[in-house]
Amino acid sequence: MSRLQLKSDDVTKWCLEKNTGKVASYFELGENVMFIGFDYGTSSCSVASIHNGQPTPIPIEGDDIYIPSTLAAPSRESVSESLFRFYNIVPDTPERKASLRRAIAFNQEEGIELTRDDMTFGNAALNQYLSDPEFTYYVKSPKSFLGSSGLRDAQLQFFEDLVCAMMANIKQRSEQQLHTQITDAVIGRPVHFQGSGSDDANQQAQTILLSAAHRVGFKNVEFQLEPVAAGLEFEASLSEDKTVLIVDIGGGTTDCSMLKMGPSYRYNTDRSRSILGHTGQRVGGNDLDIHLAFRQMMTEFGLGSLMNSGLEMPITQFWNPVAINDVPAQTDFYSQANLKRLAELKKQAKQPEKLARLLQLYHAILGHGVVRRAEEAKIALSQTHEIQSSLDFLSDTVNVTITREAMMEAIESPKSKMMRLVKEAVVQSGVTPDVIYMTGGSAKSPILRQAVSELLPNVEVIAGNDFGSVTAGLARWAETCFA
């Protein structure tokens, strides 16, 4: 595809509805667009270009500029086959060729004849999973798994295929909107992809992102730390130099960076000297949802109930199904061997009807559905004291009443980890910030904002665009790298 010149009189202004991320109309850019900023997020993805000197979001799911980081397909093997059949991504190594042959053979044996629409993304993927969980392969937040230790080569290869599929979908949708080919991208990355924060883990994760980006057709790729990117967008509004603590709380990671920012630093291509300290860990909004689901919803599946012997049911059987960002936990729970353990626990249970629900969760792979209800409850409880959540995807609908106090108790552990990262960034840098800039999808939580304010009570907290600050900053950095 060649670079196209579009008519400038076709340009219409973006009209962003406050706090929704939806655009009021489509538009065509009156300039060539070859580079984008790409926020491949844990909870959602978004991309932006530069138009008239300003970051401009690109709608990638209908009119919405955010697409949930989810994928659904008829089978696990359908991901690799769809990349080849419908996205023209040809396997470039013997290992990938062998994997593709196995995937095609599996789908043929299962009678799965793929069409382009069989692999879905974003909200469409979630709806597909909720409507038919037993026969849908569903993945949420594959970024959460990047950098995991102990993964075999085949697992790493498959994670790359997942990332590749999501990137290919977003790239194609963006090009359709812009009517031109996108060849260059700056991709955001957290300070640490995993809790260990090891160099090997970070390198493994970044290598997967880089390889996937090249496979979908990005020719030139650069990376920028997500909190730094968020800071770049904030910096554009500063008229004087300030020391800024960037607190970026996403779906899967929390990153905190202390930066020197302002007019004196704005046009520096190397920002490493302005970074006074940074911390990061794999803990984010998804962890709040998981802990809330575990503490407040898994009781309906048997958590805390007793066996006939008087012993309490093993906790791991209720944690593993909702630990949707933990590969070993999910693998263990949904294994064939565990099915036998669950059946035995049901026989030994004083409340067998609850274990029957756990068995139903196992067979229909409903862990994601439970966590989804927890996420909805978390959002609602930021506005009200008590809510009732309905687990209506079970054969017998169960209603769970959750109070704000119960939620606060449930999420205390991940919240405390986030606040420790804020403290460590301040200690590491040895300075008190002039201002705190909070951004990221989970930073809009009044609970987390209050917690940060309590840590640094005399420092102003400014709320950034809950999702868009990182994307906008990445687009600005892309302009620096590629324009």
Cα separation, 359 vs 333, in Å, equals: 11
Contact 302, 313 (CB under 8 A): yes
Bridge-partner residues for 163, per DSSP?
Answer: none
pTM of model > 0.85: no
Average pLDDT over residues 129-157: 82
- Topology of domain 1-218, per CATH? Nucleotidyltransferase; domain 5 (3.30.420)
pLDDT at residue 317 in the model: 97
Instruction: Give Cβ neighbours of residue 311 (< 8 Å, ≥ 6 apart).
Output: none
What is the Cα–Cα distance from 87 to 81, expressed in whole angstroms?
A: 10
| Helices 285-296, 367-380: crossing angle, 10 deg rounding | 100
C-alpha count within 13 angstroms, C-beta hemisphere, residue 202? 14
Rounded Cα–Cα distance for residues 37 and 475 (Å): 4
Q: Which of 37, 60, 4, 323 is nearest to 172 (CA)?
A: 60
Taking residue 257's Cβ as centre, other Cβ atoms within 10 Å add up to 26
- In angstroms, the first-to-last Cα distance of the chain is 20
The predicted-structure confidence for 379-431, as pLDDT tens digits, reads as follows 999 889 999 999 998 888 999 999 999 999 999 999 999 999 999 999 999 99
The domain locations on the chain are: 1-218, 237-464
Nearest Cα residue to 251 out of 469, 419, 466: 466
Looking at domain 237-464, does it have CATH number 3.30.420.40? Answer: yes
276 SS3 class: strand
| % of residues, the chain, pLDDT over 90 | 61
Q: Which residues contact 137 (CB under 8 A, 6 or more apart)?
A: 72, 73, 74, 75, 76, 78, 79
Residues 6 or more apart whose Cβ sits within 8 Å of residue 133: 364, 365, 366, 368, 369, 393
The predicted-structure confidence for 154-194, as pLDDT tens digits, reads as follows 888 999 999 999 999 999 999 999 999 999 999 998 877 76
Quote the tokens at residue 427: 């200690």
Question: pLDDT per residue over 224-247, tens digit each?
Answer: 988 888 888 788 889 999 999 999
Averaged over 357-363, what is the pLDDT?
95
CB 252 within 8 A of CB 282: yes
pLDDT (tens digit, 9 = 90+) per residue, 51-75?
A: 888 899 999 999 999 999 999 999 9
Same fold, 1-218 and 237-464: yes
